[in-house]
């Protein structure tokens, strides 16, 4: 096969792949239409050769199949079902298409633990304040303003002797804290 097109340049590999896919689709579609034509022709011929109830029923089915309105409606419904089935199968085969649109930031970059502790202390939620203090890094715990908050928290809960025992939680995977 000559790879030079009529315009005098070699088509890209992508164009060749698209052409192969298009040819494959045409062959599949033509095969389905040929199979349906053979099936319909066989039913028509067989209905005329049969006598009795079965022959009359086949003749009636051929008449219904070839009625213009019913033929169009049934072709539409069969086509719609085929498209939905193929699309569903393609999506199952391709897998989950979930992607992150933005790069995820570390939770410690998003949350100001000091502000959370201050807010919890203001409303008297000492348990939440303890949790936020435990999530702080070692660097945050050594700051003077944080030490003042810890002293305020421990004195508010009557556990002033625990002020020195606060240690940060070990970091979770990817630097996120739990």
Q: Convert the pLDDT of each residue in 135-174 to its tens digit.
A: 887 887 888 888 888 888 887 777 655 555 555 555 444 4
Q: How many CB atoms lie within 10 A of CB 120?
A: 20
- The pLDDT assigned to 101 comes to 64
What pTM does this model have?
0.34
Rounded Cα gap, residues 87 and 135, in angstroms: 47
* 13 band by pLDDT with thresholds 50, 70 and 90: low
Rounded Cα gap, residues 73 and 81, in angstroms: 12
Nearest partner of 140 among 120, 119, 169, judged by Cα: 169
Angle at which helices 126-134 and 144-156 cross, to 10°: 150
3-state helix, strand, coil in the chain (%, to 5): 70, 0, 30
Q: Which of 23-27, 51-55, 90-94 has the highest mean pLDDT?
A: 23-27
- The pLDDT assigned to 10 comes to 56
Work out the burial of residue 133: count CB atoms within 10 Å of its CB; fewer than 13 is exposed, 13-18 middle, 19 or more buried: buried
Structure tokens at 154: 């421990």
């Amino acid at each position: 096969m000559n790879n030079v097109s009529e315009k005098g340049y070699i088509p890209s590999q992508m164009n060749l792949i698209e052409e192969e896919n298009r040819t494959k689709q045409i062959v599949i579609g033509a095969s389905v239409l040929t199979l349906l034509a053979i099936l319909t022709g066989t039913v028509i011929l067989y209905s005329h050769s049969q006598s009795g109830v079965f022959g009359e029923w086949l003749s009636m089915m051929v008449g219904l199949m070839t009625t213009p309105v019913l033929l169009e409606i049934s072709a539409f419904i069969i086509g719609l079902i085929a498209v939905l089935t193929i699309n569903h199968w393609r999506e199952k085969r391709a897998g989950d298409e979930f992607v992150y649109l933005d790069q995820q930031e570390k939770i410690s970059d998003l949350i100001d633990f000091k502000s959370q502790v201050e807010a919890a202390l203001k409303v008297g939620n000492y348990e939440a304040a303890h949790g936020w203090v435990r999530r702080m890094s070692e660097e945050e715990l050594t700051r003077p303003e944080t030490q003042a908050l810890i002293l305020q928290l421990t004195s508010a809960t009557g556990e002033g002797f625990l002020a020195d025992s606060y240690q940060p939680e070990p970091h979770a995977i990817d630097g996120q804290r739990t």
